[in-house]
Structure 1
């Protein structure tokens, strides 16, 4: 789409909003309403300067606003493009329902299939190590106690959308398929329940922050994209914590959706 076709507004000289922010507002609206689509090139600096009758620095400040929000990305020698957004994954209230495990599907696979996306997992690493202090507290083990640690990266349709690290007590994992890269149908929860420890409930704590450099690299995040940190603790019917999963997810790849009873 030619740049001039999306530039349908002018800045308001009487507004107390800075000119570069008004330009950023116009471009953001064009992205949100589909006039500028994913992967499409934004109007050039020259086009923006001519349309708005502003200096190059003003235009660059406006573009930087979009980059900081994770809406645009520069490609060296080519220009600035609307950032490709990963498919939105919905965290539903029934994502850990037992019926999924009976069908041989772990939560990620079940949810991915529900939105017609292809799920993949890579960078799998299984080891024994002491749990971090906050994880050990949730798992009710001492900080120096060895647990089984499973880390991996999940993707949807080829786009990384999740870094997950599970911590499982050694007595539940050692000598089982939980120690394998592929724990088998239904995932590690199915393997835990096969030991007679039926899962009763999960507690999830969700917070937001900016990603670390390594998280941004592994999730292919551009500047300005925050992440969710979701820590889930799984309990069996006896009230014992049997797993803690520490998950990092791009903020623009997930919709958190929960159904809560009114009583």
Structure 2
């Protein structure tokens, strides 16, 4: 579900905008094998998408597409993504309910921010994964060395 919200201080810091600037906040629930796998809360500055047909991530011509595809649609190339793993913690009751875990279980939170080629943040998200059920693993492509 997406809605317009004023950027709180921590989100404004991640996006490089002023606290209170309008953003689109979208909450997602992801399933794997029919079980809750992760939650994600995404924030996009209205200054970037506000006057475009992709302002709402789940509506318009690229409904349901990822940030990279949606930004590319109107000429913004994503150059980097930075993910910061936060310490595991117990979830608030609402998150535990959505994830199907108890409040005594731990969750892993990853803060991910996408940047364009000029270093401008175009989206930030907090991704919450139930640590009791899932392991987070990364695979990175490596450019082959240039021929000598």
- Check whether the contact 2:30–2:38 (CA below 8 A) recurs between aligned residues: yes
2:10 counterpart SS class:
helix
| 1:148 maps onto 2:27 in alignment | no
Structure 1 gaps of 5+ residues are 1-124
Q: Distance in 2 between matches of 1:259 and 1:147?
A: 30
Using structure 1 for the length normalisation, give the TM-score. 0.48
Residues 95-129 of structure 1: CA distance to partner in whole angstroms, max 9, x if unpaired? Answer: xxxxxxxxxxxxxxxxxxxxxxxxxxxxxx11111
- Relative to its length, the structure with more helix (as a share) is 1
Corresponding position: 1:242 with 2:122: yes
Tell me how many residue pairs correspond in the alignment. Answer: 137
Residue 196 of structure 1 is matched in structure 2 by 75
1:257 corresponds to which of 122, 129, 138: 138
Question: 1:195-251: CA deviations, max 9, x gaps?
Answer: 111110011111111111111001100354210111101000111111001111111
Q: Is the contact made by 2:57 and 2:64 (CA closer than 8 Å) also made in structure 1?
A: no
| Aligned mates of 1:185, 1:218 — CA distance in 2 | 21
After TM superposition, where is structure 1 displaced by more than 4 Å over at least 4 residues in a row?
Answer: 258-261
CA distance in 1, matches of 2:27, 2:48: 17
Aligned residue in 1 for 2:146? none
Alignment of 1:78-157 (within 5 A): 125-157=1-33
Residue equivalent to 1:117: none
- Look up the match of 1:177: 54
**Residue 231 (structure 1) aligns with:** 111
Q: Deviations over 1:47-90 (max 9, x none)?
A: xxxxxxxxxxxxxxxxxxxxxxxxxxxxxxxxxxxxxxxxxxxx
Larger of the two Rg values belongs to structure: 1
Give the SS at the match of 2:95.
helix
Aligned 1:198-217 pairs, distance under 5 A: 198-207=77-86, 208-217=88-97
Q: Distance in 1 between matches of 2:113 and 2:21?
A: 18
TM-score (normalizing by structure 2) = 0.82
More strand by share: 2
Deviations, residues 8-41 of structure 1 (Å, cap 9, x unaligned): xxxxxxxxxxxxxxxxxxxxxxxxxxxxxxxxxx
